[in-house]
């Protein structure tokens, strides 16, 4: 097996690797982008070019989680505040010095045919490898009838894409907003208009927090804030879903440059498995710098070697068939939780999660003479303070003191799953801090696979529940 390669062709654009910087502060100017290319980025989508705007200060805000910084980032920064001709001149310079790297010009201008024609020609004239139409920006620009104000209305999306396609000679990528109930609608509109590719998702409307001393929201601009675009690790599941929705829809699917919470090689692999051609990164680069791309490439190549994939095409979209409607899921598939006693550390988080958050089928009764499913967390918590414990005196109390069972963790602290009652929900395995300690094991119940759809077709579901929506005329 030859060494795998990350080289790929996206909508006709040859890319040294699938890692692009998204149109955002990390791609504000040519000096930055050339440093990014030196670090290993395959491409960059230039910070959106249009008539220069005036920004506010401050602009960013984030939320941390349990001591981890920037689980989610939000911004109220607008498009480029630099003159169009400066951006174009720098694109020209970057392309001259880095001809193999991809430069995409992100564009946003007022909704007039000739204005779009003009900017398209100028960007291509500067040497851009492709164009990205910013129909996603959710703050500020949308109030002026641009950005997500366009992306939220499929007809506008289609109209402007058609104008661009009239003038464009390079591939046209339409960037979609997630601030819409069905992202397939603007995607279909873009495809109808002849777009060559899509990128998704742009940022999500958000307020990241309120200052509890001043009662002012963040990011704070002279005591006030505005809804800003949310991104970062927290949005990845939303982005994965939206990418899948578009790529799973034949009327919408186009080459996809995926965006949303990508910061590692594994994130990239997941998006490619759902059909992405390239991935775009912003928050992770804003957090840690351009250097993160080294492991994105290194890690992805190592994974490809382990999986015997020579090119990205070998696994692109491979997981798409595994996403389906709920009605096609096998209702007769049964798994139950299995606790590996030798790995259990005795934190009992699975126990409390199952009792309060799931189905009350994990019990703390291994050290009792008989299984006892009637002991509640409240009962156990009430027993605890009644125990009398003292500081052990070495060589006196500690001698012979050991765990009450064959495992490192005392048997009384290792929870037991009542497999008969377990519904296989996964919650215990999700809260368990120890890798591989709780596994979900399939149980052979002897039943042939059967989905809801099949049950409906077989007429074995209660009447009236097959498909029910309120009748507006009733």
Active site residues: 137
Stretch that binds another protein, among 15-23, 143-151, 246-254, 407-415 (CB under 8 A): 407-415
Nearer to another protein, 393 or 469 (CB): 393
DSSP state for residue 182 in the 8-state scheme: -
**C-beta separation of 129 from 194 below 8 A:** no
In contact, 277 and 20? CB cutoff 8 Å: no
Q: What number of CA atoms fall less than 13 Å from residue 85's CA on the CB side?
A: 0
How is residue 295 written in tokens?
Answer: 């492991």
Residues 294-333: x/- map of binding to another protein (CB under 8 A)? Answer: ----------------------------------------
Distance CA 376, CA 354 (A): 11
* Contact map string, positions 180 to 219, toward another protein, x by CB under 8 A: ----------------------------------------
- For the CB of residue 236, give the shortest distance to another protein in the complex, in Å: 22
Q: How far apart are CA 366 and CA 379, in angstroms?
A: 16
Residue keyed to tokens 């801090």 = 433
Please list, in sequence order, all residues whose beta carbon lies within 8 angstroms of the beta carbon of residue 205, skipping any fewer than 6 positions away. Answer: 138, 139, 179, 227, 228, 229, 230
- Cβ closest to another protein, residue 393 vs residue 474: 393
Nearest CB to another protein, comparing residues 115 and 347: 347
Q: How far is the CB of 387 from another protein (least distance, A)?
A: 6
Tell me the closest approach of the beta carbon of residue 219 to another protein, in angstroms.
Answer: 21
Of the pair 9, 408, the CB lying nearest another protein is at 408
Q: Which of 111, 409, 439, 450 binds another protein (CB under 8 A)?
A: 409
Task: Report the residue number, 266 or 434, with the smaller CB distance to another protein.
Answer: 434
Give the helix ranges, DSSP H, for 199-357: 236-247, 265-273, 283-288, 293-307, 349-357
Specify the length of the chain in residues. 474
Supply 383's token pair.
């027993």
Binding string, residues 218-257; x marks residues near another protein by CB under 8 A:
----------------------------------------
Nearer to another protein, 252 or 337 (CB): 337
Query: Based on CB atoms, which residue is closest to another protein, 391 or 473?
Result: 391
Nearest distance in Å: CB 395, another protein: 6
Smallest gap from Cβ 389 to another protein, in A, equals 5
Q: Which residues in 342-401 contact another protein (CB under 8 A)? A: 345-349, 351-352, 364, 377, 380-381, 384-385, 387-396, 398
The size of the interface with another protein (CB under 8 A), counted in residues, is 31
Supply φ then ψ for residue 59, to 5 degrees: -130, -25
Residue 400 CB partners (closer than 8 Å, separation 6+): none
CB of residue 364 to another protein, shortest distance in Å: 8
Among positions 30-89, residues that touch another protein (CB under 8 A) are 66-67
* Shortest Å distance, C-beta 335 to another protein: 24
Q: Which helix (H) or strand (E) holds 104?
A: strand 102-107
Instruction: Report the Cα 223 to chain-centroid distance in Å.
Output: 31
**What is the Cα–Cα distance from 425 to 336, expressed in whole angstroms?**
8
3-state SS class at 312: helix
Q: Which is nearer to another protein, 96 or 395 (CB)?
A: 395
* Shortest distance (Å) from residue 407 CB to another protein: 10
DSSP notation for 204-239: EEE--EE-TTT--EES-BTTB---EEEESGGGHHHH
How many C-beta neighbours within 10 Å does residue 385 have?
A: 7
For the chain, give percent helix, strand, coil, nearest 5. Answer: 35, 20, 45
Q: Where on the chain is the footprint of another protein (CB under 8 A)?
A: 66-67, 345-349, 351-352, 364, 377, 380-381, 384-385, 387-396, 398, 408-409, 413, 433-434
């Amino acid at each position: 097996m030859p060494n795998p390669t990350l080289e790929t062709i996206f909508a006709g654009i040859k890319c040294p690797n699938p890692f692009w910087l998204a149109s955002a502060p990390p791609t504000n100017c040519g000096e930055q982008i050339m440093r990014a290319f030196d670090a290993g980025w395959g491409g960059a989508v230039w910070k959106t070019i249009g008539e220069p705007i005036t920004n506010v200060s401050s602009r960013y805000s984030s939320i941390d989680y349990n001591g981890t910084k920037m689980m989610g980032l939000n911004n109220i920064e607008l498009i480029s505040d630099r003159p169009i001709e400066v951006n174009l001149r720098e694109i020209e310079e970057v392309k001259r010095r880095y001809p193999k790297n991809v430069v995409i010009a992100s564009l946003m201008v007022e909704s007039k045919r000739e204005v779009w024609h003009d900017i398209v020609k100028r960007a291509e004239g500067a040497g851009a490898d492709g164009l990205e139409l910013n129909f996603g920006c959710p703050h500020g620009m949308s109030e002026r009838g641009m950005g997500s104000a366009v992306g939220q209305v499929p007809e506008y999306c289609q109209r402007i894409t058609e104008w661009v396609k009239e003038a464009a000679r390079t591939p046209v990528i339409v960037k979609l907003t997630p601030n819409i109930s069905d992202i397939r609608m603007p995607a279909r509109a873009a495809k109808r208009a002849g777009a060559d590719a899509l990128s998704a998702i742009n940022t999500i409307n958000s307020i990241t927090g309120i200052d509890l001393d001043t009662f002012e929201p963040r990011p704070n601009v002279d005591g006030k804030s505005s809804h800003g675009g949310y991104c970062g690790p927290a949005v990845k599941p939303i982005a994965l879903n939206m990418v899948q929705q578009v790529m799973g829809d034949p009327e919408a699917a186009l080459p996809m440059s995926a965006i949303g919470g990508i910061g590692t090689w594994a994130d990239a692999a997941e998006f490619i498995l759902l059909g992405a051609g390239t991935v775009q990164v912003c928050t992770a680069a804003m957090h840690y710098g351009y250097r993160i791309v080294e492991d994105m490439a290194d890690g992805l190549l190592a994974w490809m070697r382990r999986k015997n994939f020579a090119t990205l095409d070998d696994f692109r979209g491979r997981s798409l068939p595994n996403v389906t409607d709920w009605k096609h899921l096998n209702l007769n598939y049964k798994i139950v939780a299995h606790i590996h006693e030798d790995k259990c550390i005795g934190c009992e988080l699975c126990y409390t999660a199952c009792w309060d958050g799931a189905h009350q089928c994990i019990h703390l009764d291994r050290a009792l003479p008989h299984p006892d499913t009637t002991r509640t967390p409240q009962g156990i918590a009430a027993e605890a303070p009644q125990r009398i414990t003292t500081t052990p005196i070495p060589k006196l109390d500690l001698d012979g003191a050991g765990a009450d069972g064959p495992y490192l963790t005392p048997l009384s602290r290792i929870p037991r799953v009542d497999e008969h009652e377990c519904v296989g929900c996964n919650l215990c395995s999700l809260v368990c801090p120890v890798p591989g300690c709780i596994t979900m094991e399939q149980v052979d119940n002897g039943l042939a696979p059967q989905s809801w759809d099949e049950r409906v077709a077989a007429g074995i579901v209660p009447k009236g529940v097959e498909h029910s929506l309120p009748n507006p005329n009733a």
